[in-house]
Amino acid sequence: MKKFKIIQKINIILFIVILNFLNSNIFAITHEKILSDIVFNQEVQDFHKMGFAYQDEFKILFNNLFNNLGLKLDSEVINQLPENNSNLNTDNASFCYAKCNVVSNSAIIKSCGDLHGSVYHLIINLRKLLEDKIIDDQLNIIGDNIIAFTGDYIDRGSFGIEVLYLLISLYLKNPDKVILLRGNHETQDVAGRYGFAPEFCNKFLNKDDIDAKEITILYNTVLLTLKKLPVTAFVCSSQKTVQLAHGCPDINIKFEFKDINKNRLISLYNGLIIEDESNYFIWGDILSNSYVDRGINIKPIELSCLEKYLIENNINELILGHDHVCDGYDEYGQYNYEFDNGRKIKKHIQNFWYDPVEGSYVGNFISDKSKGYFEPSWVTTTLSSEIAVEN
């Protein structure tokens, strides 16, 4: 009888161990489950169900991801730009550089503007790329194409952490085909005032094994890593050069693209550290009737000056983000301007944020606000001499 009870206890213990093991594997969050169960699961349509940063295991995934991003960015900058001073970055100033991608004439750029914590819009757009066979369900980019994001990934929306996770996962899978630019919200000062800091605490501080000091270290690591992203990028084919930035280019800088035949980084401002709020690439604006002062010592740039800049640098198209409102936007909240010489400026207008009253993401330029959601389209830019296509 005593022997039977011992065997019974052993069986119960084994059953509990097996059950815990099964539960941990069934319910534990993994990168693969995020992609299959949420991102590319068409049954998940409500943005409330698209958040995945609350599970305990996610903090490990997120931490590892940012460590890998930091190592990748440091390696590229150190190897290609020995004059860099990124180790001297502060909360309010940064080393600045440009990323240059060389592609074939048949390549296309799919660009997206300010996401501001809207994981809903990012996921809908990723599903569109999957449908169009631009990416597969593991975030691998198919073909000789570029996917570009013009900055402002965090703040305002409630899912900045999820947005960062997906964007960086996409980048690390395709470092030569993904452009992640830094916006003005990817800075310590701005992120601390517009929602990312409390979001970070709400999602990570409630874990039993994490204290406030550890959260502070992780938060600062995230923002310092984001400050290592390029502030502008160029995509070059033999027929066309396209520049991307969050704000506006610094029109006083001269670029040479004649001898560029491979991907590389370009140091800006002779490797000097630049004050973030005085950086045109992340704070600059085009002069318009809706212009408001932003940044410090940032003057709006007239279209005529931008045209001269494009001509002098042999740039065919300029793709920007940053704006809340812009004269001449279309029903999708996109601004397109073509000069007489065929050079173009495209701006992704910030179309959405979380409305706590309506309880949904809403946009400035929704033609039918009763829909509740606004699904911004990708802007498609060709790298041949043909006319660019908008989808």
Pair type for strands 241-245 and 379-382 = unpaired
Every domain of the chain and the residues it spans: 1-382
**Per-residue pLDDT at 17:** 45
Pair type for strands 241-245 and 232-236 = antiparallel
Written as one string, the DSSP assignment of 224-235 is HHHTTS-SEEEE
Mean pLDDT of 246-271: 87
**Per-residue pLDDT at 323:** 72
At 286-321, the pLDDT tens digits run 876 555 666 667 788 898 999 999 999 999 999 998
Q: Which of 312, 284, 317 is nearest to 146 (CA)?
A: 317
**Per-residue pLDDT at 351:** 53
Mean pLDDT of 153-170: 93
Residue 78 has pLDDT above 70, yes or no: yes
1-382 CATH pick, 3.30.70.580, 3.40.190.10, 3.60.21.10, 1.20.140.10: 3.60.21.10
* pLDDT mean across residues, the chain: 81
Residue 150 has pLDDT above 50, yes or no: yes
Distances (CA, A) of 290 to 102, 282, 319, 329, 351: 36, 18, 19, 12, 15
Q: Residue 359's pLDDT band (boundaries 50, 70, 90)?
A: very low
d(CA 39, CA 122): 9
What proportion of the chain, given as a percentage, has pLDDT over 90? Answer: 44
Neighbours of 374 (CB within 10 A): 23
Between helix 212-226 and helix 58-80 the angle, nearest 10°, is 40
Q: What is the pTM of this model?
A: 0.85
Q: Which of 96, 348, 78 is nearest to 233 (CA)?
A: 96
Q: Residue 156's pLDDT band (boundaries 50, 70, 90)?
A: confident
Mean pLDDT is lowest, of 116-130, 192-206, 244-258, for 192-206
Distances (CA, A) of 85 to 96, 122, 186, 267, 304: 9, 33, 18, 10, 34
Q: Residue 210's pLDDT band (boundaries 50, 70, 90)?
A: low
d(CA 185, CA 193): 9
- For residue 319, what are its two tokens? 């793709």
